[in-house]
Structure 1
């Protein structure tokens, strides 16, 4: 699989490439950026780093010379020549000083919309190709790309797995468990109207009861922690670690689903239980919604969304999903 990261010289773009170089060494990665010098420099440095991945104890055969992929740079004008199997859109306008304020997300739409329009124009020569949007506001930009390109909706994805990791951390603290034993998918908007699906939450495979007060506490935590991190980290940085790990999980799931029938498109072995994750994608009647992109439970294959699951939600979750749709549609 050949993955092209648009905005590849950014902190998230380069960290995704580095993560894939270590965890999915068979993939070819192109860092596409208007700053071709920076993209080349990062790509070359990651290529050098792959030497150590290949020779570390426990390195698998994917790092050997016959199967190892590459990390290269390219300019936006070269996208059509790359003929990628997966596009990751991570280009964005510079962050303002008030980016640590939750209300600042509203301004991101206008700042990044013109970039989406330019990139969509450069993608027109391609056959329909899965496009994973990482730039905020994710749900709105997913729908913008869908509207501009006119490809089948299964090719459009929006990243929203950071909230899943953060709500797992909050639940783990609440019940004194390890975060990797917690499963609680998050639907809805990537932002204010995210929806941890507590009705499907599991700890070590077992359902848990979450009171209304605990729900409110967990929601406050998962909404606030990104901005607390950003305030301490500074606006010149991004949430590169959790985002890059989540994006890499999506990429590896798509690659594995294409190559190995024992993987079911959710990123786990076919008999590994219900660990379905949610990504933003355009809806056409699912959950009674249309003309909007929201995070919903999906199965993936090499071409993007293979299936959308319509879960039975409790009343609070269903109402919040309606509010998320209204919020996104108001901006669209």
Structure 2
């Protein structure tokens, strides 16, 4: 990272960076520091794959196409991610948070581990996610997706990268959205921030 990213910044000073490797939140933060790029041009895949898996599982139980569901997994891509069920909805209706739906989140969160156990890697899902993001930039799609981005004061959190819903277009991260999380979710977001901050302090 220390050898590659400054060279990328020198040879392609106007590029957008999409960080994929784990721990993606820490590495997205490191990319910001090493390139000096503005935050809108440095993004990590974050909880995008987790959110896609979660919506697919929800769609099966709700009998509604996954693309019509607005449900995100936010926070850290890892142990401290959480489903933002208080703002999850379909067709303007809230999706109720039930134990069964919490179990779907747990299944989505653990599915990457299960794929790795059986195949030895998880390259296809993250490859598709990266292609989706790059297409959004190149074709100015203005898609709303959860991605790891620099947090500037949301819920009192600063100095880390975590996943929030963002609008992705030709400028990169064109808007960071701040959903009205309930107190429990806000607490989980702050816990995720603390976990990523400890990684940054330990390894960077």
TM-score (norm 2): 0.88
Instruction: Specify the alignment match of 1:149 in structure 2.
Output: 35
Instruction: Specify the alignment match of 2:4 in structure 1.
Output: 119
Q: How far apart, in 1, do the equivalents of 2:83 and 2:139 lie?
A: 27
After superposition, where does 1:123-202 map in structure 2 within 5 Å?
123-125=8-10, 126-160=12-46, 161-202=48-89
C-alpha deviation, 1:205, in angstroms: 5.3
Higher relative contact order (CA 8 A, sep 6+): 2
RMSD: 1.9
After superposition, where does 1:90-129 map in structure 2 within 5 Å?
116-125=1-10, 126-129=12-15
Out of 278, 281, 303, the position equivalent to 2:149 is 281
SS in structure 2 at match of 1:118? coil
Q: How far apart, in 1, do the equivalents of 2:104 and 2:86 lie?
A: 14
The structure whose Rg is larger is 1
Aligned residues of 1:287 and 1:310 also touching (Cα < 8 A): no
Out of 204, 211, 225, the position equivalent to 2:111 is 225
Q: How far apart, in 1, do the equivalents of 2:166 and 2:68 lie?
A: 21
Distance 1:239 1:124, change over 3 A: closer
CA offset digits 1:200-245 (Å, max 9, x no partner): 223455322122x235312321221111111111x2x3231x2222
Aligned residues of 2:9 and 2:35 also touching (Cα < 8 A): yes
SS in structure 1 at match of 2:4? helix
After superposition, where does 1:216-255 map in structure 2 within 5 Å?
216-233=102-119, 235=120, 237-240=121-124, 242-255=125-138
C-alpha deviation, 1:186, in angstroms: 1.9
CA offset digits 1:49-106 (Å, max 9, x no partner): xxxxxxxxxxxxxxxxxxxxxxxxxxxxxxxxxxxxxxxxxxxxxxxxxxxxxxxxxx
Q: How far apart, in 2, do the equivalents of 1:324 and 1:203 lie?
A: 26
Equivalent residues, number: 198
CA offset digits 1:114-151 (Å, max 9, x no partner): xx112113213131421000111100000011111222
C-alpha deviation, 1:322, in angstroms: 0.5
CA offset digits 1:234-266 (Å, max 9, x no partner): x2x3231x2222222211211222xxxxx5x12
Instruction: Specify the alignment match of 1:110 in structure 2.
Output: none
SS in structure 1 at match of 2:180? coil
Matched, 1:301 2:187: no
Q: How far apart, in 2, do the equivalents of 1:165 and 1:284 lie?
A: 25
Q: Provide structure 2 residue ranges, at least 5 long, that are not aligned to the other structure.
A: none
Detail structure 1 runs of 4+ shifted over 4 Å in the superposition.
none
Q: How far apart, in 1, do the equivalents of 2:154 and 2:65 lie?
A: 34
Q: Provide structure 1 residue ranges, at least 5 long, that are not aligned to the other structure.
A: 1-115, 258-262, 267-275
